[in-house]
Homo-oligomer: A and B are copies of this chain.
Amino acid sequence: MEVALGKNKPHNVVIIGGGFGGLYTAKNLKSTNVNVTLIDKRNFHLFQPLLYQVATGTLSPGDISSPLRSVFSKSKNTKVLLGEVNDIDPKAQQVIMGDQVVNYDTLIVATGANHSYFGKDNWQEFAPGLKTVEDAIEMRRRIFGAFEAAEKETDPEKRNAFLTFVIVGGGPTGVELAGAIAELAYKTLKEDFRNIDTSETKILLLQGGERILPHIAPELSEEAAISLQKLGVVIHTNTRVTNIENNIVTFKQGGEVKEIPSQTILWAAGVKGSAMGQILAQRTDVECDHAGRVIVEPDLTIRGYKNIFVVGDLGNFSHQDGKPLPGVAPVAKQQGEYVAKLIKRRLKGHTLPQFHYNHVGSLAMIGQNLAVVDLGLIKLTGFLAWVFWLVIHIYFLIEFDTKLLVVFQWAWNYITRNRRSRLITGREAFVQVKTTN
Protein backbone atom coordinates (compact mmCIF):
# COMPACT_ATOMS: atom_id res chain seq x y z
CA MET A 1 0.00 0.00 0.00
CA GLU A 2 1.32 3.40 -0.97
CA VAL A 3 1.13 6.43 1.29
CA ALA A 4 -1.12 9.24 0.00
CA LEU A 5 1.15 12.14 -0.85
CA GLY A 6 -1.07 14.64 -2.64
CA LYS A 7 0.98 17.82 -2.85
CA ASN A 8 -1.90 20.24 -2.94
CA LYS A 9 -4.51 18.75 -0.65
CA PRO A 10 -3.45 18.95 3.01
CA HIS A 11 -2.17 15.74 4.57
CA ASN A 12 -4.27 14.64 7.57
CA VAL A 13 -2.38 13.17 10.46
CA VAL A 14 -4.51 11.71 13.25
CA ILE A 15 -2.85 10.89 16.57
CA ILE A 16 -4.69 8.81 19.16
CA GLY A 17 -3.37 9.49 22.65
CA GLY A 18 -1.81 12.55 24.28
CA GLY A 19 0.88 10.82 26.34
CA PHE A 20 4.57 11.26 25.61
CA GLY A 21 4.42 9.41 22.26
CA GLY A 22 1.44 11.29 20.84
CA LEU A 23 2.48 14.63 22.27
CA TYR A 24 5.99 14.54 20.79
CA THR A 25 4.66 13.46 17.40
CA ALA A 26 2.27 16.43 17.37
CA LYS A 27 4.84 18.89 18.74
CA ASN A 28 7.27 17.94 15.98
CA LEU A 29 4.65 18.51 13.32
CA LYS A 30 4.13 22.12 14.44
CA SER A 31 4.64 24.75 11.75
CA THR A 32 4.21 22.28 8.89
CA ASN A 33 1.39 22.29 6.35
CA VAL A 34 0.14 18.98 7.74
CA ASN A 35 -3.28 18.93 9.47
CA VAL A 36 -2.86 17.33 12.87
CA THR A 37 -5.77 15.99 14.94
CA LEU A 38 -4.83 14.83 18.42
CA ILE A 39 -7.51 12.69 20.05
CA ASP A 40 -7.52 11.93 23.76
CA LYS A 41 -10.05 10.79 26.33
CA ARG A 42 -8.74 13.37 28.78
CA ASN A 43 -8.20 17.10 28.36
CA PHE A 44 -4.66 16.99 29.72
CA HIS A 45 -1.29 15.39 29.23
CA LEU A 46 -0.12 13.64 32.37
CA PHE A 47 3.51 13.57 33.39
CA GLN A 48 3.33 9.96 34.54
CA PRO A 49 6.88 9.62 35.92
CA LEU A 50 5.82 11.81 38.85
CA LEU A 51 2.43 10.23 39.42
CA TYR A 52 3.74 8.34 42.46
CA GLN A 53 4.33 11.73 44.12
CA VAL A 54 0.63 12.54 43.71
CA ALA A 55 -0.18 9.14 45.24
CA THR A 56 2.04 9.86 48.23
CA GLY A 57 0.88 13.44 48.81
CA THR A 58 3.78 15.58 47.64
CA LEU A 59 2.18 16.91 44.48
CA SER A 60 -1.30 17.84 43.31
CA PRO A 61 -2.64 16.39 40.06
CA GLY A 62 -2.56 19.87 38.52
CA ASP A 63 1.18 20.10 39.15
CA ILE A 64 1.96 17.29 36.71
CA SER A 65 -0.74 17.92 34.11
CA SER A 66 -0.66 20.17 31.09
CA PRO A 67 -3.96 20.97 29.40
CA LEU A 68 -3.58 19.63 25.84
CA ARG A 69 -5.31 22.66 24.38
CA SER A 70 -2.89 25.04 25.98
CA VAL A 71 0.13 22.95 24.84
CA PHE A 72 -1.13 23.35 21.25
CA SER A 73 -2.85 26.70 21.57
CA LYS A 74 -0.29 28.38 19.28
CA SER A 75 -0.06 25.48 16.77
CA LYS A 76 -2.80 26.49 14.40
CA ASN A 77 -2.38 23.28 12.35
CA THR A 78 -3.20 21.17 15.41
CA LYS A 79 -6.69 20.39 16.58
CA VAL A 80 -7.37 18.71 19.92
CA LEU A 81 -10.39 16.40 19.97
CA LEU A 82 -11.72 15.13 23.27
CA GLY A 83 -13.23 11.69 22.97
CA GLU A 84 -12.81 7.95 22.95
CA VAL A 85 -11.91 6.03 19.81
CA ASN A 86 -14.02 2.88 19.45
CA ASP A 87 -12.74 1.55 16.17
CA ILE A 88 -10.42 2.01 13.23
CA ASP A 89 -11.18 1.32 9.58
CA PRO A 90 -7.80 1.00 7.85
CA LYS A 91 -9.34 0.49 4.39
CA ALA A 92 -11.44 3.65 4.51
CA GLN A 93 -8.66 5.35 6.50
CA GLN A 94 -11.02 6.38 9.25
CA VAL A 95 -11.03 6.57 13.00
CA ILE A 96 -14.45 6.02 14.59
CA MET A 97 -15.51 7.83 17.78
CA GLY A 98 -19.13 6.93 18.55
CA ASP A 99 -21.10 8.50 15.72
CA GLN A 100 -18.23 10.73 14.69
CA VAL A 101 -15.78 9.72 11.95
CA VAL A 102 -12.33 11.25 11.47
CA ASN A 103 -10.45 10.72 8.20
CA TYR A 104 -6.72 10.24 8.17
CA ASP A 105 -3.93 9.95 5.67
CA THR A 106 -1.48 8.91 8.37
CA LEU A 107 -2.49 7.43 11.71
CA ILE A 108 -0.40 7.31 14.89
CA VAL A 109 -1.67 5.05 17.65
CA ALA A 110 -0.18 6.04 21.00
CA THR A 111 -2.68 4.85 23.58
CA GLY A 112 -0.11 3.38 25.97
CA ALA A 113 -0.56 0.61 28.49
CA ASN A 114 -2.73 -0.27 31.48
CA HIS A 115 -1.83 -2.34 34.49
CA SER A 116 -2.19 -6.06 34.22
CA TYR A 117 -3.00 -8.52 36.97
CA PHE A 118 -1.88 -11.47 34.85
CA GLY A 119 -5.45 -12.68 34.51
CA LYS A 120 -6.28 -12.20 38.21
CA ASP A 121 -8.47 -9.16 37.74
CA ASN A 122 -10.16 -9.75 41.08
CA TRP A 123 -6.91 -8.64 42.75
CA GLN A 124 -7.47 -5.10 41.51
CA GLU A 125 -10.01 -4.31 44.23
CA PHE A 126 -7.44 -4.98 46.95
CA ALA A 127 -4.33 -3.86 45.09
CA PRO A 128 -4.90 -0.80 42.90
CA GLY A 129 -2.36 0.20 40.27
CA LEU A 130 -1.04 3.60 39.26
CA LYS A 131 -1.76 4.85 35.74
CA THR A 132 -4.25 7.72 35.97
CA VAL A 133 -4.87 10.76 38.18
CA GLU A 134 -7.84 8.91 39.66
CA ASP A 135 -5.59 5.94 40.46
CA ALA A 136 -3.18 8.26 42.25
CA ILE A 137 -5.95 9.93 44.26
CA GLU A 138 -7.30 6.50 45.18
CA MET A 139 -3.84 5.34 46.31
CA ARG A 140 -3.41 8.53 48.32
CA ARG A 141 -6.77 7.98 49.95
CA ARG A 142 -5.80 4.42 50.89
CA ILE A 143 -2.34 5.31 52.19
CA PHE A 144 -3.42 8.24 54.39
CA GLY A 145 -6.71 6.51 55.21
CA ALA A 146 -4.73 3.54 56.59
CA PHE A 147 -2.87 5.73 59.09
CA GLU A 148 -6.17 7.34 60.11
CA ALA A 149 -7.82 3.97 60.59
CA ALA A 150 -4.83 2.71 62.60
CA GLU A 151 -5.10 5.76 64.87
CA LYS A 152 -8.69 4.78 65.67
CA GLU A 153 -8.19 1.02 65.89
CA THR A 154 -7.91 -0.53 69.34
CA ASP A 155 -7.36 -4.16 68.27
CA PRO A 156 -3.56 -4.59 67.95
CA GLU A 157 -3.79 -7.15 65.15
CA LYS A 158 -6.07 -5.01 63.03
CA ARG A 159 -3.97 -1.97 63.79
CA ASN A 160 -0.97 -3.89 62.56
CA ALA A 161 -2.70 -4.62 59.24
CA PHE A 162 -3.43 -0.90 58.84
CA LEU A 163 0.23 -0.13 59.43
CA THR A 164 1.45 -2.74 56.92
CA PHE A 165 2.02 -1.61 53.34
CA VAL A 166 2.79 -4.15 50.65
CA ILE A 167 4.07 -3.02 47.27
CA VAL A 168 4.00 -5.66 44.55
CA GLY A 169 6.66 -5.08 41.91
CA GLY A 170 10.26 -3.93 42.27
CA GLY A 171 10.58 -1.79 39.14
CA PRO A 172 10.98 2.00 39.30
CA THR A 173 7.34 2.64 40.35
CA GLY A 174 7.44 0.05 43.12
CA VAL A 175 10.78 1.34 44.40
CA GLU A 176 9.60 4.94 44.29
CA LEU A 177 6.36 4.13 46.10
CA ALA A 178 8.16 2.11 48.78
CA GLY A 179 10.70 4.89 49.35
CA ALA A 180 8.03 7.58 49.52
CA ILE A 181 5.86 5.63 51.97
CA ALA A 182 8.92 4.97 54.14
CA GLU A 183 9.70 8.69 54.32
CA LEU A 184 6.08 9.40 55.10
CA ALA A 185 5.82 6.86 57.92
CA TYR A 186 9.25 7.30 59.47
CA LYS A 187 9.70 11.05 58.96
CA THR A 188 6.82 13.25 57.77
CA LEU A 189 4.00 11.81 59.89
CA LYS A 190 6.10 10.96 62.96
CA GLU A 191 4.65 13.75 65.14
CA ASP A 192 1.13 13.76 63.75
CA PHE A 193 -0.65 10.99 65.60
CA ARG A 194 -1.44 10.50 69.29
CA ASN A 195 -2.42 6.81 69.55
CA ILE A 196 -0.07 5.18 67.07
CA ASP A 197 3.65 5.36 66.52
CA THR A 198 4.06 5.59 62.76
CA SER A 199 7.62 4.35 63.05
CA GLU A 200 6.11 0.90 63.71
CA THR A 201 4.87 0.85 60.11
CA LYS A 202 5.98 -2.16 58.04
CA ILE A 203 6.71 -1.67 54.35
CA LEU A 204 7.26 -4.73 52.18
CA LEU A 205 8.47 -4.65 48.59
CA LEU A 206 7.84 -7.90 46.72
CA GLN A 207 9.84 -8.58 43.59
CA GLY A 208 9.49 -11.61 41.30
CA GLY A 209 13.04 -11.54 39.94
CA GLU A 210 16.26 -11.90 41.85
CA ARG A 211 16.88 -8.17 42.21
CA ILE A 212 14.93 -4.93 42.26
CA LEU A 213 15.33 -2.47 39.36
CA PRO A 214 16.39 -5.21 36.92
CA HIS A 215 16.80 -2.67 34.09
CA ILE A 216 19.85 -1.04 35.67
CA ALA A 217 23.33 -2.35 36.43
CA PRO A 218 23.47 -4.99 39.21
CA GLU A 219 25.74 -2.89 41.44
CA LEU A 220 23.26 0.02 41.32
CA SER A 221 20.34 -2.26 41.97
CA GLU A 222 22.26 -3.57 45.01
CA GLU A 223 22.92 0.02 46.11
CA ALA A 224 19.20 0.86 45.75
CA ALA A 225 18.25 -2.17 47.84
CA ILE A 226 20.66 -1.13 50.62
CA SER A 227 19.28 2.44 50.60
CA LEU A 228 15.69 1.22 50.76
CA GLN A 229 16.53 -1.15 53.61
CA LYS A 230 18.21 1.69 55.50
CA LEU A 231 14.99 3.68 55.07
CA GLY A 232 13.13 0.77 56.65
CA VAL A 233 11.72 -1.11 53.65
CA VAL A 234 11.80 -4.93 53.77
CA ILE A 235 12.60 -6.36 50.33
CA HIS A 236 11.60 -9.87 49.28
CA THR A 237 13.13 -10.95 45.95
CA ASN A 238 12.44 -14.20 44.05
CA THR A 239 8.93 -13.83 45.40
CA ARG A 240 5.77 -14.70 43.55
CA VAL A 241 2.40 -13.37 44.69
CA THR A 242 -0.09 -16.25 44.54
CA ASN A 243 -3.18 -14.60 45.95
CA ILE A 244 -4.58 -11.24 47.05
CA GLU A 245 -7.89 -11.40 48.83
CA ASN A 246 -9.67 -9.77 51.77
CA ASN A 247 -6.63 -7.62 52.44
CA ILE A 248 -4.27 -10.56 52.73
CA VAL A 249 -1.35 -11.07 50.35
CA THR A 250 -0.15 -14.62 49.90
CA PHE A 251 3.27 -15.12 48.35
CA LYS A 252 5.77 -17.84 47.69
CA GLN A 253 9.43 -17.33 48.40
CA GLY A 254 11.56 -20.35 47.60
CA GLY A 255 9.44 -23.24 48.86
CA GLU A 256 7.87 -21.17 51.64
CA VAL A 257 4.34 -19.75 51.45
CA LYS A 258 3.65 -16.62 53.51
CA GLU A 259 0.50 -14.68 54.29
CA ILE A 260 0.68 -11.01 55.22
CA PRO A 261 -2.43 -9.14 56.40
CA SER A 262 -2.29 -5.64 54.95
CA GLN A 263 -4.94 -3.03 54.40
CA THR A 264 -2.84 -1.25 51.80
CA ILE A 265 -1.55 -3.36 48.94
CA LEU A 266 -0.27 -1.44 45.95
CA TRP A 267 0.24 -2.92 42.50
CA ALA A 268 3.32 -1.93 40.54
CA ALA A 269 3.93 -5.20 38.75
CA GLY A 270 2.52 -5.89 35.32
CA VAL A 271 1.42 -3.82 32.37
CA LYS A 272 -0.46 -4.73 29.23
CA GLY A 273 -1.05 -2.85 26.00
CA SER A 274 -4.24 -0.78 25.96
CA ALA A 275 -7.40 -1.99 24.18
CA MET A 276 -6.49 -0.17 20.97
CA GLY A 277 -3.86 -2.88 20.36
CA GLN A 278 -6.58 -5.52 20.09
CA ILE A 279 -8.62 -3.32 17.77
CA LEU A 280 -5.59 -2.83 15.52
CA ALA A 281 -4.92 -6.57 15.55
CA GLN A 282 -8.51 -7.33 14.51
CA ARG A 283 -8.60 -4.75 11.75
CA THR A 284 -5.14 -5.23 10.25
CA ASP A 285 -3.94 -8.71 11.21
CA VAL A 286 -0.91 -7.21 12.92
CA GLU A 287 0.45 -9.41 15.72
CA CYS A 288 0.44 -8.55 19.43
CA ASP A 289 2.88 -10.02 21.95
CA HIS A 290 1.85 -11.79 25.19
CA ALA A 291 1.51 -8.43 26.95
CA GLY A 292 -0.88 -7.11 24.30
CA ARG A 293 1.75 -4.85 22.72
CA VAL A 294 1.66 -4.39 18.95
CA ILE A 295 4.69 -5.78 17.06
CA VAL A 296 5.99 -2.89 14.99
CA GLU A 297 8.24 -2.76 11.93
CA PRO A 298 11.70 -1.14 12.03
CA ASP A 299 10.13 2.20 10.98
CA LEU A 300 7.39 1.91 13.69
CA THR A 301 4.65 1.20 11.13
CA ILE A 302 2.63 -2.00 11.33
CA ARG A 303 2.95 -4.79 8.81
CA GLY A 304 1.09 -4.04 5.56
CA TYR A 305 0.19 -0.48 6.54
CA LYS A 306 2.87 2.10 5.83
CA ASN A 307 0.53 4.84 7.05
CA ILE A 308 -0.23 3.40 10.51
CA PHE A 309 2.35 3.90 13.25
CA VAL A 310 2.39 2.66 16.82
CA VAL A 311 4.58 4.61 19.26
CA GLY A 312 5.26 4.42 22.98
CA ASP A 313 4.19 1.78 25.50
CA LEU A 314 1.66 0.16 23.14
CA GLY A 315 4.38 -0.88 20.69
CA ASN A 316 6.79 -3.80 20.83
CA PHE A 317 9.92 -2.66 18.98
CA SER A 318 12.48 -5.46 19.01
CA HIS A 319 14.73 -4.48 16.13
CA GLN A 320 17.59 -3.10 18.19
CA ASP A 321 18.92 -5.91 20.40
CA GLY A 322 16.15 -8.46 19.98
CA LYS A 323 14.43 -7.45 23.23
CA PRO A 324 11.45 -5.08 23.21
CA LEU A 325 12.30 -1.51 24.22
CA PRO A 326 11.06 -0.65 27.73
CA GLY A 327 7.82 1.28 28.30
CA VAL A 328 9.41 4.51 29.47
CA ALA A 329 8.97 8.17 28.55
CA PRO A 330 12.27 8.60 26.63
CA VAL A 331 11.37 5.74 24.24
CA ALA A 332 7.94 7.24 23.54
CA LYS A 333 9.44 10.71 23.09
CA GLN A 334 12.10 9.57 20.61
CA GLN A 335 9.58 7.46 18.70
CA GLY A 336 7.22 10.44 18.45
CA GLU A 337 10.05 12.61 17.15
CA TYR A 338 11.06 9.92 14.64
CA VAL A 339 7.54 9.50 13.25
CA ALA A 340 7.05 13.24 12.86
CA LYS A 341 10.35 13.47 10.99
CA LEU A 342 9.48 10.50 8.78
CA ILE A 343 6.11 12.04 7.86
CA LYS A 344 7.80 15.29 6.89
CA ARG A 345 10.39 13.40 4.82
CA ARG A 346 7.75 11.34 3.07
CA LEU A 347 5.85 14.45 2.07
CA LYS A 348 9.00 15.56 0.27
CA GLY A 349 9.28 12.16 -1.40
CA HIS A 350 12.09 10.91 0.84
CA THR A 351 12.31 8.42 3.66
CA LEU A 352 14.41 7.73 6.81
CA PRO A 353 16.57 4.85 8.04
CA GLN A 354 14.92 2.65 10.66
CA PHE A 355 14.18 3.93 14.15
CA HIS A 356 17.06 3.74 16.60
CA TYR A 357 16.57 4.29 20.30
CA ASN A 358 19.31 6.35 21.83
CA HIS A 359 19.45 5.08 25.39
CA VAL A 360 20.84 7.81 27.60
CA GLY A 361 20.35 6.18 30.96
CA SER A 362 18.06 4.73 33.57
CA LEU A 363 17.25 6.25 36.89
CA ALA A 364 15.08 5.72 39.94
CA MET A 365 14.31 7.88 42.95
CA ILE A 366 14.46 6.20 46.33
CA GLY A 367 13.99 9.10 48.71
CA GLN A 368 15.40 12.31 50.06
CA ASN A 369 18.97 12.63 48.74
CA LEU A 370 18.80 9.05 47.48
CA ALA A 371 18.56 7.89 43.89
CA VAL A 372 20.36 5.68 41.44
CA VAL A 373 21.39 6.76 37.95
CA ASP A 374 22.86 4.42 35.35
CA LEU A 375 24.35 6.23 32.35
CA GLY A 376 26.33 3.25 31.16
CA LEU A 377 29.89 4.38 31.79
CA ILE A 378 28.85 6.79 34.52
CA LYS A 379 26.95 5.45 37.51
CA LEU A 380 25.71 7.71 40.28
CA THR A 381 24.18 6.97 43.68
CA GLY A 382 23.06 8.94 46.73
CA PHE A 383 22.91 12.72 46.72
CA LEU A 384 24.55 13.25 43.32
CA ALA A 385 22.09 10.84 41.70
CA TRP A 386 19.24 12.59 43.46
CA VAL A 387 20.28 15.98 42.09
CA PHE A 388 20.65 14.44 38.65
CA TRP A 389 17.16 12.94 38.90
CA LEU A 390 15.72 16.34 39.89
CA VAL A 391 17.47 18.14 37.04
CA ILE A 392 16.30 15.59 34.45
CA HIS A 393 12.70 15.79 35.64
CA ILE A 394 12.73 19.57 35.79
CA TYR A 395 14.16 19.65 32.28
CA PHE A 396 11.44 17.32 31.01
CA LEU A 397 8.68 19.21 32.80
CA ILE A 398 9.61 22.67 31.57
CA GLU A 399 9.81 21.44 28.02
CA PHE A 400 6.03 21.58 27.80
CA ASP A 401 5.20 24.35 30.05
CA THR A 402 6.92 27.19 31.82
CA LYS A 403 6.02 25.62 35.11
CA LEU A 404 9.16 26.89 36.72
CA LEU A 405 7.43 27.95 39.87
CA VAL A 406 5.71 24.63 40.22
CA VAL A 407 9.04 22.97 39.89
CA PHE A 408 10.56 25.17 42.57
CA GLN A 409 7.61 24.52 44.80
CA TRP A 410 7.97 20.83 44.26
CA ALA A 411 11.71 20.89 44.95
CA TRP A 412 10.93 22.95 48.04
CA ASN A 413 8.33 20.50 49.30
CA TYR A 414 10.70 17.73 48.58
CA ILE A 415 13.48 19.34 50.54
CA THR A 416 11.25 20.36 53.44
CA ARG A 417 9.41 17.01 53.41
CA ASN A 418 6.17 18.87 53.22
CA ARG A 419 3.13 16.81 52.24
CA ARG A 420 0.62 19.53 51.79
CA SER A 421 -1.31 17.51 49.21
CA ARG A 422 -2.32 14.70 51.46
CA LEU A 423 -5.99 15.51 51.49
CA ILE A 424 -8.26 12.50 51.33
CA THR A 425 -10.90 13.33 48.73
CA GLY A 426 -13.47 11.74 46.48
CA ARG A 427 -17.18 11.26 46.78
CA GLU A 428 -16.84 8.48 49.30
CA ALA A 429 -13.65 9.66 50.93
CA PHE A 430 -14.96 9.72 54.41
CA VAL A 431 -17.26 6.74 54.24
CA GLN A 432 -14.42 4.61 52.92
CA VAL A 433 -12.08 5.58 55.71
CA LYS A 434 -14.80 4.65 58.15
CA THR A 435 -15.68 1.30 56.66
CA THR A 436 -12.09 0.12 56.50
CA ASN A 437 -12.00 0.60 60.25
Shortest CB-to-CB span from A403 to chain B, Å, is: 7
Is the beta-carbon distance between A148 and B82 smaller than 8 angstroms?
Answer: yes
> Using an 8 Å CB-CB cutoff, how does the interface string of A359-402 with B read, 1 for contact, 0 for none?
00000000000000000000000000000000000000000010
Shortest CB-to-CB span from A275 to chain B, Å, is: 14
Identical chains bound together, number: 2
Residues 17-51 of A at the B interface (beta carbon under 8 Å)? 41-44
A60 proximity list for chain B (CB < 8 A): 60-63, 421
Shortest CB-to-CB span from A167 to chain B, Å, is: 22
Cα A412 to Cα B406 in complex, Å, equals 10
Shortest CB-to-CB span from A408 to chain B, Å, is: 6
Cα A79 to Cα B79 in complex, Å, equals 53
Cα A17 to Cα B348 in complex, Å, equals 67
Q: Is A288 an interface residue (CB 8 A)?
A: no
Q: Give A429's nearest chain B residue, CB to CB.
A: B42
Mark the stretch among A185-193, A276-284, A309-317 that contacts chain B.
Answer: A185-193
Shortest CB-to-CB span from A84 to chain B, Å, is: 7
Given A60-B60, A69-B193, A79-B194, answer yes or no on A44-B423 (Cβ-Cβ < 8 Å). Answer: yes
Write the residues of chain A forming the contact surface with B, with a CB cutoff of 8 angstroms. Answer: 41-44, 59-63, 65-67, 69-70, 73-74, 79-84, 98, 100, 133-134, 137, 144, 148, 151-152, 189, 191-194, 401, 403, 405-406, 408-409, 412-413, 419-427, 429-430, 433-434
- 19 other contacts beyond A82-B152, A405-B408, with CB at 8 A cut-off? A41-B430, A43-B148, A43-B423, A44-B424, A60-B60, A61-B421, A62-B420, A62-B421, A65-B423, A67-B423, A69-B189, A79-B194, A80-B194, A83-B434, A84-B434, A100-B152, A401-B420, A405-B409, A427-B427
